[in-house]
Structure 1
Amino acid sequence: MNPSTSAKVTLSPRAMRLAAALEEWPRRTLTLAELWEVFAIADAASAMRPSRRTDLAEALEALTAAGLISCSHTKDTSVTPALPTRLKLPAPQPSPSAAAAAQAIAWRPELAWAASARLTLGQIGTLRLINDWLRDCGRDDDVVPLRERSLEVLGHEKRLDALLNTSLFAPGRLTLGLLRTFRAHPPLSTRRIGGGPVLLVVENADTFDTLTRVLTADPGDVGRVAWGAGAAFEASVASVLDVTEVRAIAYFGDLDADGLRIPASAHRRAAQEGLPPVCPAAGLYRLLLEIGVPQPGQTPVPHGKALELAGWLSEPLATRAASLLAAGCRLAQEAVGMRALQARTEVSEWQDGLAFP
């Protein structure tokens, strides 16, 4: 059944919470065992109740009537009531049930827009929790980190993280200020080597140590070298705000799918925070492609996706990196080690991309 054509169905708070949790499920199908896991999150208070199975069955019946799920014909009849062994979830979208639910809620003035917005049931359920929090805690003036607020209001520390780039945070809707919260920035480990305005971020610890020692003798425009700590840099890039002298950010990491995804993601986060762009340390990547020995055994990346991942690099580096990924190979940045760098008597051979524009 298509949710957009289903009749208006009044859903219980429990069914609303289950609908919201199912919208966050990463696949469009789930087994009964997986359903129990989702239900444990959506209705934790029912964990010890004898009626737990009946509660779930009633919620599933309501969601089916609302067109929000499809249940398999195969049932688990080992205990009554019978439950479907598999669910199919349509893509979340606004529905008559969601509109009816929104109109039935007494919204706080800050959320009055929710009564007429095109929202899914999951979004309505989330906003209802925020509405209750604003009602009960609206007079408080405490400002706490995002994940603390998320756990307090939504019951899970990462829920707000997932919502920040959704329509709930579109202009005129939710803001971090309304929720009296902020995104805490994990620290970025840096070492000062000169007085220049360029921050060089290095993905892995050993190459960070090597480049720090080599650049100390002739740092050029590099003032600091930072250890990105792998994927942690996607969040810790925001800590560059605390290093006021930084005017440019260069990055050097592995040439593999994650090694390219991390700086591209950090680049987007830097733009959101008003920071300088995260640019590739072109000379170091060029040296890595020159001397590195490809390591096979990676899952080949489809050509189009490989080009997308490598798009953060400049040409011709991007094309060469994409070919590497498509072939199921990678290059570890540790190939650009102490001996390789010292063998280049002219540091300009690999310092391309480290100069301040």
Structure 2
Amino acid sequence: MSALARYLADRVEAAPTQRIEVEALYTAAVTFDRSLATAPTARGDIRDALHELVAAELVVLPSSSRHFDVRAVPALPLWVRRPPRERIVRETRGARVWPVALEAAGRIAGRDDEVALLETVAAFLRDGGTSRPRVPMRERSLELFGDEKRLNKLLATRLFRSGALTPDLLRCYSVPIPFVSQWISGAVDTRGTALLIAENHHTYASLLEVTRHYAAEGGPGRHVGYGTGNQFPSAVLSVPLLVPAPARIVYFGDVDLKGLQIPAAANAGARAAGLPEVVPAYPLYELLFGARHRSPAARVPAAVAVEAAEWLGQYAERARDALIDGFRLPQEAVGYELLMDHRDVLDAI
């Protein structure tokens, strides 16, 4: 489940009424991700998050089309409804005594589905689950529930959100999105092995070729990776799988709202995971600003622009002005030919 969907799931769970107006959820979504205030894809992103909640059986959409706002595309429901909470099961033979590891969850569980989940976990623990090896989440989910995607949906429910149940208790872990990267052999870099990330795959192809040329001329060896756009904040967690291990993660992307928010989010995730910081590839951004190719874009509110541009350090002010003035700098302006003419900048990355 996406981060936005999980945030909205919390809002749904905390709502005092069973019916929740989507206008309130829309406002909550913008509070969570301020880029949605101006992004042309905002309605689609929120629609997708609502569909995730439907798939997780956390909300029900209206059945009639007259309860949808069709003034813009895509259509959004005017409201969603939280399914009725099942009545608490009270055993006449006394309260269920749970294993120590499930005592906290047992105090929370009050619905049939929650009790059934705890029974499944208790059986897993009783049968030696604590000594089982840690495996990818979908493998454990298939084993326990006969559905490889069920456990991921359960992460959005209150037993997991409260921390009473955890993937670690079930001896499993979330698998980050595979990271696309190639190692280019070259001279030893005294600053440590670098991982150079391109936001877009065409720039990735050019950086890969230019890095190969320069390494053959005596330039440094390094990993060159494709950040997979919006997936990079998740994919960065796969960096420890690279050999040799990168000592530096250097990023180059578009100068636009998403192009700045993506590496900032990836940097926060990398630091939380004990990985190297995700820092700007300053020499490549210098070439990008120097290329003077500008594309029109939606104007970004000043406060949002300042926050988004902060990651770009010494070029933050120029990036902020671009966002506020309503234009973007696509990284493809720093293409193969320009890179080949300035391939010595790779020494400074």
- TM-score interval, smaller chain: 0.5 to 0.7
**1:330, distance to aligned residue in structure 2 (A):** 1.5
For the residues of structure 1 that align with 2:116 and 2:250, how far apart are their CA atoms? Answer: 42
Q: Report the counterpart of residue 181 of structure 1 in structure 2.
A: 172
Q: Report the counterpart of residue 153 of structure 2 in structure 1.
A: 159
For the aligned residue pairs, the C-alpha RMSD in angstroms reads: 4.5
Return closer, same or farther for 1:216/1:284 CA change in 2, 3 Å cut-off: same
Return closer, same or farther for 1:247/1:105 CA change in 2, 3 Å cut-off: same
Pairing 1:29–2:27 present: no
Q: Deviations over 1:269-310 (max 9, x none)?
A: 2223322111110111121122142211x3322211122222
**Structure number with bigger Rg:** 1
Return closer, same or farther for 1:143/1:308 CA change in 2, 3 Å cut-off: same
- In the alignment, residue 270 of structure 2 is paired with which amino acid? A
CA contact (8 A) 1:292 1:336 kept: no
Q: Deviations over 1:206-252 (max 9, x none)?
A: 21121122222334445121122212322221221112421111111
The TM-score, its normalising length taken from structure 1, stands at 0.62
The TM-score, its normalising length taken from structure 2, stands at 0.63
Return closer, same or farther for 1:282/1:129 CA change in 2, 3 Å cut-off: farther
- In the alignment, residue 168 of structure 1 is paired with which amino acid? S
Q: How many residues align?
A: 276
For the residues of structure 1 that align with 2:179 and 2:58, how far apart are their CA atoms? Answer: 38
For the residues of structure 1 that align with 2:57 and 2:281, how far apart are their CA atoms? Answer: 46
Q: Report the counterpart of residue 314 of structure 1 in structure 2.
A: 313
Return closer, same or farther for 1:186/1:105 CA change in 2, 3 Å cut-off: same
3-state SS of the aligned residue for 2:119? helix
- Equivalences for residues 1-357 of structure 1 within 5 A: 22-23=12-13, 28-30=20-22, 42=57, 106-114=97-105, 128=115, 130-138=117-125, 139=127, 140=129, 141=132, 143-149=134-140, 156=150, 158-159=152-153, 168-169=162-163, 173-193=164-184, 194=186, 195-196=188-189, 197-219=193-215, 220-245=219-244, 246-296=246-296, 298-315=297-314, 317-344=315-342, 347-348=344-345, 352=348, 354=349
Return closer, same or farther for 1:244/1:285 CA change in 2, 3 Å cut-off: same
CA contact (8 A) 1:250 1:279 kept: yes
**1:264, distance to aligned residue in structure 2 (A):** 1.7
More helix by share: 2
Return closer, same or farther for 1:290/1:125 CA change in 2, 3 Å cut-off: farther
- In the alignment, residue 175 of structure 1 is paired with which amino acid? T
Gaps of 5+ in 2: 1-8, 24-46, 61-66, 68-76
Gaps of 5+ in 1: 1-18, 45-55, 57-74, 76-84, 91-96
**Identity between Structure 1 and Structure 2 (%):** 31
Q: Deviations over 1:67-101 (max 9, x none)?
A: xxxxxxxx9xxxxxxxxx976889xxxxxx99x99
Return closer, same or farther for 1:30/1:225 CA change in 2, 3 Å cut-off: closer
- In the alignment, residue 331 of structure 1 is paired with which amino acid? L
CA contact (8 A) 1:150 1:159 kept: no
Return closer, same or farther for 1:339/1:283 CA change in 2, 3 Å cut-off: same
For the residues of structure 2 that align with 1:267 and 1:248, how far apart are their CA atoms? Answer: 12
- In the alignment, residue 187 of structure 1 is paired with which amino acid? P
Greater shift after overlay, 135-144 or 257-266?
135-144
- In the alignment, residue 334 of structure 1 is paired with which amino acid? E
